Amino acid sequence: MNEINACPYSKKCGGCMYSGVSYGEQLDIKNGLVRKYLGPVAKENGIKPEPVAGAADPLYYRNKVHSVFARTKKGQIVRGIYRRDSHEVIPVSGCLLENKKADAIIEKIKRLVPSFKYRIFDEDNGTGWLRHVLVRTGTCGGKEEIMVILVTSEVPFPGKNNFVKALRSAFPEITTIVQNINAKRTSMVLGERNIVVYGKGFIEDDSLGLRFRISPGSFFQINGPQTKKLYGLALEFAQLTGSETVLDAYCGTGTIGMFMSAGAKRVIGVELNPDAVRDARDNAKRNGIGNIEFICADATKYMLGDMPAGIDVLCMDPPRSGSTPEFIKAAAGLGIGRIVYVSCNPETLARDLKLFMKQGYRVKRLSPVDMFPLTDNLECCALLEIGRK
Ligand code: SAH
């Protein structure tokens, strides 16, 4: 099943762990990780973790592709990625994870650069113009949408119109081009200012069933088909009947809560990052969802403080470090009957599930999803219920 060629850059790049490993073997390895981290918890609850849900296509899934531009000592233009923890650029083209068209667009830009005489940014002395190229892809109404973001050190964009023409005649699918200004000496890719060069300045994606606006800096899941599977599980586990109040903790841009809103009476999303909260509110409005609200707060503090009573279902999707013992105790103290835990780290998931068990919860299901084939990341959706055997 799905033989995968070894990537020539994999040793230097470190982006994919399983270059050259067939997809079947990758899933075996991940099932092994699930057994290792979650096996004991499953056993205690008298269940078995479900097999890892694999991707129909494990290659070229990233809808967000980034290349840093640099010159070699000999003056050759290269584009690629930073070596881990360094500023050395490893030339990479044809990455196995990245959307193929996005990769081809970046390659084309690399070929256009000399004819437009664009100066490549030099990180050591802070001179030059073109720093990074980012391409984000989506689909809306069955049509492809592609955003190209050129990160440059300053605003003047010589030959702008001709550049747009040249790029768009090679790739008419490009729907928008944005220039992002980043003059700082920083490892952050994007600066604060965006200038729309062509099109509307953002793309839209409705492939998950709702319509999301993706701006240059906004968060969006990078593997659409697998995200659909994961959110589908979260929705299934929530078992909504229309009368529930749902708390979506660590809600990011609000996607999970928005998918749940159609089946619930009311959804409250809690998120620490104010930019994500702004995007979440915006997305809810765009989709005409009236029964969801978003609170910008630390999830634990909110749980211990201002949270209204009467939460029927808690959905939580914390960062890799997991949740806190206080959060877990508070959820139990409020008598929340059903909890859907979406996790990107089986180790902290196991730790937190044990804390929930101490509070009287039983783990009913454990469903892992391979969101990031070729890498060692593993997502898992868990269902907990209070008291029931
Ligand atoms: N489900 C979300 C992604 C969640 S990622 C989505 O699909 O968009 C985890 C989120 O937890 C991030 O958005 C991060 O900003 C947020 N976060 C981290 N620590 C937090 C805390 N203490 N309280 C609330 N949110 C937190």
For the chain, give every domain's residue range. Answer: 10-57+223-386, 64-214
Residue 214 in 3-state DSSP?
strand
At residue 285, the pLDDT reads 97
Predicted confidence at residue 260, as pLDDT, reads: 97
Question: Cα of 182 to ligand 1 centre, how many Å?
Answer: 26
The sign of the dihedral angle between the CA atoms of 35, 41, 47, 53 is negative
pLDDT at 295: 97
Q: In terms of Cα–Cα distance, which of 30, 152, 169, 173 is closest to 112?
A: 169
Q: Is 143 exposed, middle or buried (0-12, 13-18, 19+ CB in 10 A)?
A: exposed
Whether 276 is in the pocket of ligand 1, judged by its Cβ within 6 Å, is yes
Other C-beta atoms lying within 10 Å of the C-beta of residue 31: 18
Backbone angles phi, psi at 283, to 5 degrees: -65, -40
Q: Is the CB of 250 under 6 A from ligand 1?
A: yes
Quick one: which of 336, 282, 265 has its CA closest to 307?
336
Q: Give 345 Cα–ligand 1 centroid separation in angstroms.
A: 14
Tell me the backbone φ, ψ of residue 366, rounded to 5 degrees: -135, 110
The response to whether residue 180 sits with its C-beta less than 6 Å from ligand 1 reads no
253 lines ligand 1 (CB under 6 A): yes
Q: What's the confidence (pLDDT) of residue 309?
A: 85
Q: How many CB atoms lie within 10 A of CB 287?
A: 18
Atom of ligand 1 nearest to the CA of 280: 8
Per-residue pLDDT of the chain (389 residues; tens, 9 = 90+): 577 888 888 878 878 889 889 999 999 999 999 999 999 999 999 999 999 999 999 999 999 999 999 998 888 999 998 887 777 888 888 899 999 999 999 999 999 999 999 999 998 889 999 999 999 999 999 999 999 999 999 999 999 999 999 999 999 999 999 999 999 988 899 999 999 999 999 999 999 999 999 999 988 999 999 999 999 999 999 999 999 999 999 999 999 999 999 999 999 999 999 989 999 999 999 999 999 999 999 999 999 998 888 999 999 999 999 999 999 999 999 999 999 999 999 999 999 999 999 999 999 999 999 999 999 999 999 999 998 55
| Residues 130 and 113 sit within 8 Å (Cβ to Cβ) | yes
With CA atoms as reference, report the closest residue to 217 among 259, 280, 171, 279: 279
pLDDT value at residue 1: 53
7 within ligand 1 shell (Cβ under 6 A): no
Find, among 178, 170, 71, the residue nearest to 135 by Cα. Answer: 178
CATH code for residues 64-214: 2.40.50.1070
| Residue 20 CA to ligand 1 centre (angstroms) | 33
Give the pair of three-digit tokens for residue 222: 């990078």
Separation CA 144–CA 204 (nearest Å): 9
| C-alpha 330 – ligand 1 centre gap (Å) | 18
Does residue 248 have its Cβ closer than 6 Å to ligand 1? no
Where would I find the beta strands (DSSP E) of the chain? 64-71, 77-82, 89-91, 130-140, 143-152, 174-181, 193-198, 203-205, 212-214, 245-249, 266-271, 292-296, 313-316, 338-343, 361-369, 379-386
Q: Which of 231, 271, 301 to mutate to test the pocket of ligand 1 (most atoms within 8 A of CB)?
A: 271
Catalytic residue among 95, 251, 315, 344: 344
Could you tell me if 191 and 180 are in contact, meaning their C-beta atoms sit under 8 angstroms apart? Answer: yes
Instruction: Answer whether 359 contacts ligand 1 (Cβ < 6 A).
Output: no
Q: Is 357 in the pocket of ligand 1 (CB under 6 A)?
A: no
Instruction: State residue 109 phi and psi, 5-degree precision.
Output: -60, -40
- Cα–Cα distance between 263 and 296 in angstroms, integer? 23
Smallest CA separation from ligand 1 atom 21, residue = 298
Q: How far apart are CA 55 and CA 229, in angstroms?
A: 9
CB 246 within 8 A of CB 313: yes
CA of 176 to the centre of ligand 1 (A): 29
Q: Please write the tens of the pLDDT for every residue from 160-209.
A: 999 999 999 999 999 999 999 999 988 899 999 999 999 999 999 999 99
One-letter identity of residue 40 = P
Question: What pLDDT is recorded for position 388?
Answer: 55
Q: Is 344 a catalytic residue?
A: yes
Cα(66)–Cα(99) distance, integer angstroms? 11
Q: Separation of 259 CA from ligand 1 center, angstroms?
A: 17
Single-letter code of the amino acid located at 183 = A
- Got the DSSP string for 263-281? TSSEEEEEES-HHHHHHHH
Which residue, 368, 365, 364, is CA-closest to 386?
A: 364
- Strands annotated E in 231-378: 245-249, 266-271, 292-296, 313-316, 338-343, 361-369
What is 10-57+223-386's CATH number, 3.40.50.150, 3.50.50.60, 3.40.640.10, 3.20.20.370? 3.40.50.150
